[in-house]
Amino acid sequence: MNLTKYILQIHCPDQKGLIAGTTQVLAKAGANIIDMTQHTAKDIETFFLRAVFEIEEENIVEIERHVQTLEKHLQLNWKLFNTTKTPRIAIFVSKTDHCLYDLLLKHRDGVLPCEFSCIVSNHTDLGPVGGSFGVPFYYVPSNQDKSIQENRFREIISETKTDAIVLARYMQILSAEFTQEYLYKVINIHHGFLPAFKGAKPYHQAWRKGVKIIGATAHFATEDLDQGPIICQDIQRVPETVSIEELVQLGKDIEKRTLSAALKLWLEHRVFVFAGRTFIL
């Protein structure tokens, strides 16, 4: 028997019988449930569910039909993902390479279930990295009109059949139009635990203030700079004796592990976005 693994995401207003109804729909179609996680956010009276199941490919239409019949009655929002279809991810970078290398190495080690479709940069410095890992490299300079630059992004995304974008320390601001077009498909990394140290050299600013904890935040890019829904965060305590150089290295370590963790959550369809807030199941 040839089975295909799917992931079902559901969110809707909280009500009785949602778990039982979901399992009945899957069981009637002959699905074998591998994993199911659910959460009810009481403060907003909203139910979230992620189900992983195996099913004969020809029977998936039965599940789609049953879920569609429940949409209006339950005010149901749902997505169904075929896990045999590997997401294609573009990596946007500038000159800093620690997040880029971490993503590429984790992919090579089988940690990230995706294919990297291309590397896009506003500098040529990291072009050889793409060659080393067999990932096409595209140079799109930032000293041109934003609309021209982003139209080139769209061409690259289409040419490489890209599904989503990771900003691996891409030091340029994307327009509101672009982030809206690819809403919740652009993941950014930010030194978000340093809110008092904005602008240039935040780790240097933090060191001079004797900061005791640093961190990073991976979030979806939106038109509000560094204000998108948060996917993943991590922190690191800072020894009193640390130098600026050591602090910068600590920061890089946090950034790369937080970004790769966020991408993995997205690839596994564990991220739900509701009213500008994320729920991770």
Burial class (CB in 10 A: 0-12, 13-18, 19+), 45: exposed
Convert the pLDDT of each residue in 18-35 to its tens digit. Answer: 999 899 999 999 999 999
Of 14, 35, 109, 226, which is the active-site residue? 226
pLDDT recorded at residue 193: 59
pLDDT recorded at residue 192: 63
Please state the pTM of the whole predicted model: 0.93
pLDDT at 194 over 70: no
Q: Which domains does the chain have, with CATH numbers?
A: 3-82 (3.30.70.260), 88-280 (3.40.50.170)
User: Do residues 97 and 254 make contact, with C-beta atoms less than 8 angstroms apart?
Assistant: no
Convert the pLDDT of each residue in 151-175 to its tens digit. Answer: 999 999 999 999 999 999 999 999 9
pLDDT recorded at residue 72: 86
What are the E-state strand segments in the chain? 3-13, 32-41, 46-56, 77-82, 88-93, 115-121, 137-139, 164-167, 186-190, 213-220, 230-237, 271-274, 277-280
Average pLDDT over residues 49-54: 98
Average pLDDT over residues 4-10: 98
Residue 145 annotated in active site: no
Convert the pLDDT of each residue in 55-108 to its tens digit. Answer: 999 999 999 999 998 888 899 999 999 999 999 999 999 999 999 999 999 999
pLDDT recorded at residue 196: 55
Average pLDDT over residues 33-62: 96
pLDDT recorded at residue 225: 76
pLDDT recorded at residue 197: 66
| Mean pLDDT over the full length of the chain | 93
pLDDT at 245 over 90: yes
Convert the pLDDT of each residue in 260-274 to its tens digit. Answer: 999 999 999 999 999
Convert the pLDDT of each residue in 107-139 to its tens digit. Answer: 999 999 999 999 999 999 999 999 999 999 999
What is residue 200's three-state secondary structure? coil
pLDDT at 52 over 60: yes
The residues with which 25 forms a beta bridge, in sequence order, are none
pLDDT recorded at residue 120: 98
Per the model's pLDDT, the better-predicted residue between 281 and 228 turns out to be: 281
